Amino acid sequence: MKPEQSANSYAIGEGKKYLLITFGCQMNEHDSEVICSVLESLGYSAVLTAEEADLIIINTCAVRQKPEDKVTSLLGKYYALKQENKELIIAVGGCMTQQEEAARYIRDRFHHVNIVFGTHALPRLPLLLEAAINYKGTIIDIDEDYTGREELTAAHSSTFKAWLPVIYGCNNFCSYCVVPHVRGRERSRHGEDILKEAKSLAARGYLELTLLGQNVNSYGQDLAGDYTFAGLLRDMNYVEGLKRIRFMTSHPKDLSPELIEAVRSGDSICEHFHLPVQSGSNRILKNMNRGYSREHYIKLVNMIKDSIPGVSITSDIIVGFPGESEEDFQATLDLLKTVRFDNAFSFIYSPRKNTTAAAMREQLSHGEKEERLQRLNEVQHAISSELNLQLEGSTVEVLVEGPSKNNIDMQTGRTRTNKLVHFPGSSDLTGKLVNINISEAKTWNLAGVLEGENS
């Protein structure tokens, strides 16, 4: 059912409260900021507990099974809340529910859910909410029409750093990945629109922007003309007031020397590449449909390291892809030791519906995958510690994000290379650039002392 346009939607949240729960990647976090903005324009205000909420929205992730399981478990818990408060509206959206099977499963299994919506439905959220107030069944909107999506603004959760999407969707169809199925084909935003938004954020005092896309390197390929991601970065570098420009995620198959040069020469462009390799075995890379070889990847990393002193390189790795032999896995361990990533996010292969890898025979047992994950993490943790140790005694620039979770006298922030730093200091440093002398390196973060403010 698709709701009809109505003139009354604007007031439907007046005096009401919403709880928004987000799973998944940065793009999903950005979508959640857009959802917040839509809800707040309708009069809703945010709360932190389900008990206080008139509206609960879960923004889901479908990349692996675990976050999907967490959503169904949460929905089970909310059944009791709905029994106590029949007016409560529960909505489930995002990548998981963009899949028709999952959308139907939620409708049939959890009758207390009012709205199931997909990744393209954000502009229609007011109409869906209004319809749900008057309709007792479950409304589903997984239409692929995204008209109006770009015009929606985000309610940024920070006053000094923000996400800025540059390209939506993905065309790559890596054989394990559900993303192209739930986020559609690549759609680049126009350069002028991105730069206009960047300038407006900078004018409002934002210091750091992260350019987002499933594969930022294919930015512009679907637009007329020959504007590339490297060109966009060069233009971003001249936006007055911006001190740090980040970008993610880069696909190794189309990372160009022009992009490396743009990062090297752009003062505001941070020296960090998140460049997922996924596997070190050519046989597995081919079965993953990644479009590059181990040798090509190593060559790219060497080019980046040679051009940009002090650069950090992080990666994603999948262990236990179908048919991964001990020899293939050894090739991945060997690649980790050759490249020496600053950090690698490792994942157990999770079969996803409608992907070609899920249909491959030779699926590994959970035990085998777990064991490989542990061995891989041991190797990577040692490398991360060694690389961090090299920073002891040096001074790094940190953008302060606020007090650390466990100790309000300690502040937390990130280096240009995206490393987490803790230091003793007061919370009025939040949102400022400071210099920190690193006194102690750990596997996951660095500790240091404040030398002075930088801006």
Token pair for 26? 């940065």
Contact segment (CB under 6 A) with ligand SF4 among 122-130, 177-185, 376-384, 423-431 equals: 177-185
Among 23, 27, 55, 64, binds ligand 5AD (CB under 6 A): 64
User: Could you say which of 89, 177, 209, 259 contacts ligand SF4 (CB under 6 A)?
Assistant: 177
- Which residues, other chains included, contact 121 with Cβ-Cβ below 8 Å and sequence gap of 6+? 93, 128, 141, 142, 143
Considering CB distances under 5 to 8 angstroms, the limit depending on partner class, which of ligand SF4, ligand 5AD, none binds residue 313?
A: none
352 touches, from ligand SF4, ligand 5AD, none (C-beta below 5 to 8 Å by class):
ligand 5AD
Q: In DSSP terms, which residues pair with 352 in a beta bridge? A: none
Q: Which of 155, 175, 170, 71 is nearest to 113 (CA)?
A: 71
Q: How far is the CB of 319 from ligand 5AD (least distance, A)?
A: 9
| Residue 278 found at the interface with ligand 5AD (CB under 6 A) | yes
The residue from 67, 118, 165, 180 that contacts ligand SF4 (CB under 6 A) is: 180
Closest by alpha carbon to 346, among 386, 314, 382, 323? 314
59 interacts with, out of ligand SF4, ligand 5AD, none, CB within 5 to 8 A per kind: none
Q: Name which position in 126, 213, 252, 276 contacts ligand 5AD (CB under 6 A).
A: 276
Residues 112-141 that bind ligand SF4 (CB under 6 A): none
Among 143, 235, 316, 368, indicate the residue that binds ligand 5AD (CB under 6 A): 316
Mention every residue, 6+ apart, whose C-beta is less than 8 A from residue 31: 59, 94, 119, 122
Does residue number 314 form part of the binding site for ligand SF4 (CB under 6 A)?
A: no
The answer to whether residues 353 and 175 touch, using CB atoms and an 8 Å cutoff, is no
* Burial track 339-369 (b if 16+ CB lie within 10 A, e otherwise): bebbbbebbbbbebeebebbeeeebbeeebb
Is the CB of 217 or the CB of 388 nearer to ligand SF4? 217
Question: Quick one: CA torsion of 338, 341, 343, 345, rounded to 10 degrees?
Answer: -60
Angle at alpha carbon of residue 255, lines to 251 and 259, rounded to 5°: 130
**Residues 354, 177: Cα–Cα separation, whole Å:** 9
Binding positions for ligand SF4, 244-283, rule CB under 6 A: 251
**Segment near ligand SF4 (CB under 6 A), from 168-176, 184-192, 259-267, 437-445?**
168-176
Q: Which residues bind ligand 5AD (CB under 6 A)?
A: 63-64, 176-177, 276, 278, 316, 318, 347, 349-350, 352
